[in-house]
Structure 1
Amino acid sequence: MTSRIIDVAKSADSEIPPYELYFLDSKKSLDLLLKKALPNKKPDEECPSNLLDLANQLSKKCKGLPLALTVLGGVLLKKRGDDHEWERVLHTFDWYSDCKGCMDVLAMSYQDMPYYLKACFMYLAFFPEDYEISATDLIRRWIAEGFIPYKEAATKEKMAERYLDELFERSIIQVSRGSTYGLIKSFTVHDLLRDLAMHEARQQNFLTVFAQASDVDQSIREIRRASLQYHVQPQQKDPQFMEYLGPNIRSLLLFGLGYICYRNPDAQVL
C-alpha cells in the first residue's frame, strides 16, 4: 500500500518501518521523462541534442516528482519530437517549486487535450477516490451523454475505446486490468488527477460532487450532473434529500449509499 500520510503507513505494520519514497535525482528524472516522451526510442540510442537540452530543463521544472514527470512526458509524446513545440511547453506555462507546481503540470495536461477529450476527462470526477472504473461501463456512460460522435468508419464503442486509449497515452489513467488483445478492462485515476478533474468540472459547471449529505441544499438546483459519494446510515434516512437536486438533473451516480429514495421522474439516472 502507498500513502502520503505517514501515520497511515505506520499503522499498517507497527513492527516494520515505512519505506519512504524520495524525489528522483536529475538523471532518473530525465530518464523517466524521455521514456514517456519518446517511447519508441531504444535505451541505448542518444537523444537528439536539440531535444536533450529542452528535456533537461523540463525535467528540472518537475522537481523530481514522478507523477509530474509522467504527466509531462504524456504531453510531450503528442508533440512527436518537435523541438519548437517542446520549447513552447517550456516557456508558455508557469512553474512553481512547491506542490502547486505539480498541479500546474497536471493542469497543462488538461489544457493540451483536444476539445472532445476534455469532457471525457472531467467525467472521471464522477467516481470516488481510488475507485476501480470499469471501461465498459464508462464507455456506455460517455455514449449516453453524447460525448462520442458518430463516424461511418467506426462504431461509437470503438471511438470511445480510442478516447480511453488516448487518456492512457497521456498518463491520465492507470490500467488495473487489461485483455489479451490490449484493451483496457478497468483502470484507476490518481487522486491528484481526480482533484484536477473535479476542479475543472466545478469551474465549468459540468459536474458537482457531494461528499456528505449536508452538501446538498436548495442552492444547487440548477446542476445537470451530480455524483453522491457518501454513505447514509439507516438512522440518517432522509427521503427528501434527492429532491434538492432539482428538475434539471440529467445524470446521477450514487456510491456507498445504504439507503436511497428517488422522487424526480423527469431525471435520468445513468
Structure 2
Amino acid sequence: MQRPPLDVDRLRREVAESPELEFFTRVDVVESTGSTNADLVIRSADPEADRQVLIAEAQEAGRGRHERAWVSPPRAQIAMSVLLRLGDIDPEVLGWLPLLTGIAVVDAIRGVTDLDANLKWPNDVLIGGRKVAGILAEIATGAATPAVVVGIGLNVSLTEAELPVPHATSLTLAGAPDEDRTAVVLGILAEFARRFTGWRDASWDTTALAAAYRERCVTLGADVRAELPGGEVLTGIATDVDEHGRLRIGDRAVSAGDVTHLRAEY
C-alpha cells in the first residue's frame, strides 16, 4: 500500500502563520524513532524547551498505558507528542491534561473527517465502539522546571489485517473520505492549543473542561467493569466524571484502571 509522507513544509508553514497554531514553538517530523514521548522527555532537560511537537512516521517502541506496545506500519498512523511546561498549575488538576487531549483528538477527527468519534474513559478515542486512538501523558521528572509530555497514537490507514487488536479500528476502516494525515495533525494541534489556552486562561479551572468531556464520553451511562490496581474488580453504571477527572461508578470514584463497556450507550 502506498502511504504518502506528512507534508512537513505545510505543517511548519501553518504553525508559523496561523494564529490558532502560534501556541507551538517548534514542530519536528522524523522518519523513525523508538518513542516520541521518550525523545521529548530527554529534550525536556533543556529548560527553554516548551510547546514543542515531535511526530514520527514510524515508532519502533511506542507505548500506551500500562506499558502496552503501540506499533503500526510506517506512515499508517499519527504518532505525535507534545512537550509542555505547566508553570503554576495545581497538581490536583494535572490529571485533566490527558483528558483534555482526548477532547482535542475527538473534535479534530469530527472536524476533519466528519466521523462520529467519542471518548471512552479516561482518554481512549472510539469510533463505532472500536478504539482508533490512545493517549499517554508522562511527567518529565528530570526536568529543571516541571514538564509534561503528552503522546497521541492515532490509526489512520491501517487495514483489518494490520490492526494491533481486534477491537481497534482506523480512520480508513471507519469510512474517512481521504487519508490526509497532515490535515488531521493540524486539526489536533489547533484543537489542543485552543483547549489548553482556554484552560490556562481560566486559571486551571476545570468546569468548562469537564462539561466538554462529559458531552463526548460514551462511558457515562454505560454498564461497566473496572479492573482496578491491586486486582479488585468493580462493576456498575458509570454516572459521572468528578472535578479530578475520576470516573464515578456507583458511589466509588475510580482514578485508574481498565474499564470495559458491558452495555455502551452510543
Whether the TM-score (by the shorter chain) exceeds 0.5 is no
Higher-Rg structure is 1
* TM-score using structure 1 length: 0.27
Structure with more of its chain in strand, by fraction: 2
